[in-house]
Amino acid sequence: MSKFKNKKIILLLVFFIAISLIGVGFKQGWWKSSQFEVLSQNISTKIVSSSEDNKKTKVNELPAENSPKNPITSLACQRASQRPFAVMMASDEIARPLSGISSADLVFEMPVVSGGITRLMAFYNCELPGEIGSIRSARHDFIPLAQGFGAIFVHWGGSHFALDKLNKKIIDNIDALRNPYSAFYRQKGISSPHNGFSSGSRLINSSDKLGYDLKNNFEGYPHLETHNLELGTEKKVLKIGYPYPFNIKYEYNPETNSYKRWRGNKPEIDKINSKQVEVKNVVVMKARSRQIEGQYNDVDIEGGGDLEVYQLGKIIKGKWKKDKADKKSKLYFLNEQGEEIKFVPGKIWVEIVEPYQVVKYENEN
């Protein structure tokens, strides 16, 4: 009997110890699937960073049966009928590699200083990464481009030229300086201002709670039929004459019919998947610019100008056009006959350069 009582006492002690440990665990936060770090820097609202976002590499990127086609890429996906996000992203060398850049359906790159620093605006529709960044401030030249796609504009503050426009509510936007519904966070271990990030799930949640219409109304671009493509036969190199370390190179591989991107003489790598950015179409838009207030660039991205489209290892020359009178007008890419250029189905990168900047396309040595 005494042995039975001893066992009973031991079991009760084990039980109470277990309960105590569970209580301490809840108090200390051991039960959480990820730790949250509250960081606030130069903003009025708290920014919460969660490692859980990073585990979600993409949101709804897999095409379902009879999925609609993305109007930008002509690729089928579940989110094709939903509105894209146009996210301002860093081009600074210190911010590389960027997170989620390979998932963008379309990217614009444009100088924010004449003949100098560039910045990116990445459009996300089909693939929404679990981490997007470094996110940077808005510049006014990018806003009409985002308007033309009916996108939700995502940025971390901006120049006063940009904020003056955005404060007039000319486009639905999500600003990290206000951080609605914790859409943004700062990542530990990265120096400001390069530590600003978001994710696909955060942007969807914020847009929904802000009451933004999530329907995609962009009419899209025409595309070639994939079964009838005349592929190039030689390896080519396209060089864009931005100054180092913003200089760009694309290598065309006829075996994959795609262009791999290099920046600052290094492969453009996505931090999430460690893969080099690879696209089907590269567009070079020529547009004049000028410095204003000594620190901002003013680029003529409305009206029209010369254009080169690189696809299938070949060059198509033509003109780009965007109605100055209608900020929401579509950006057109036209051939020399005035017809819309048909893109190869897949991702598109657009490089906006000064007319004097060197653009070379030559055989790979």
- Residue 205 and residue 179 in contact, taking contact as beta carbons nearer than 8 Å: no
Element (H, E) at 236: strand 236-240
Check if 39-210 and 226-363 are the same fold: yes
pLDDT tens-place string over residues 309-359? 999 999 999 999 999 999 999 999 999 999 999 999 999 999 999 999 999
Instruction: State both tokens at 282.
Output: 């590269």
User: What pLDDT is stored for residue 64 in this prediction?
Assistant: 55
The answer to whether the CB of 232 falls within 8 A of the CB of 254 is: yes
Taking alpha carbons only, the member of 358, 340, 360, 355 closest to residue 71 is 340
The residue among 17 and 74 whose pLDDT is bigger is 74
How far, in Å, CA of 334 to CA of 320, rounded? 6
Distance CA 132, CA 198 (A): 5
In 112-167, beta strands by DSSP E: 118-124, 132-133, 152-155
pLDDT of 291 over the 70 cut: yes
* Domain spans, the chain: 39-210, 226-363
Rounded-to-integer distance, Cα 136 and Cα 89, Å: 5
Q: Which residues contact 346 (CB under 8 A, 6 or more apart)?
A: 73, 74, 75, 258, 279, 280, 281
- List Cβ neighbours of 219 (8 Å cut-off, separation of 6 or more): 71, 330
Helix (H, G, I), strand (E, B) or coil at 288: coil
CB 283 within 8 A of CB 348: yes
pLDDT, tens digit, for every residue of 35-64? 222 222 233 223 333 444 544 445 545 555
Percent of the chain with pLDDT over 70: 82
CATH number of 226-363: 3.50.90.10
Q: What CATH fold (topology level) applies to the domain 39-210? A: YerB-like fold (3.50.90)
DSSP 52: H
Distance CA 12, CA 1 (A): 17
Q: What global pTM score does this model have?
A: 0.84
**Contact assessment for residue 157 and residue 133, using Cβ atoms and an 8 Å cutoff:** no
What's the rounded Cα separation, in Å, for the pair 317 and 309?
Answer: 6
Please tell me which of 105-109, 188-192, 359-363 the model is most confident about, judged by mean pLDDT: 105-109
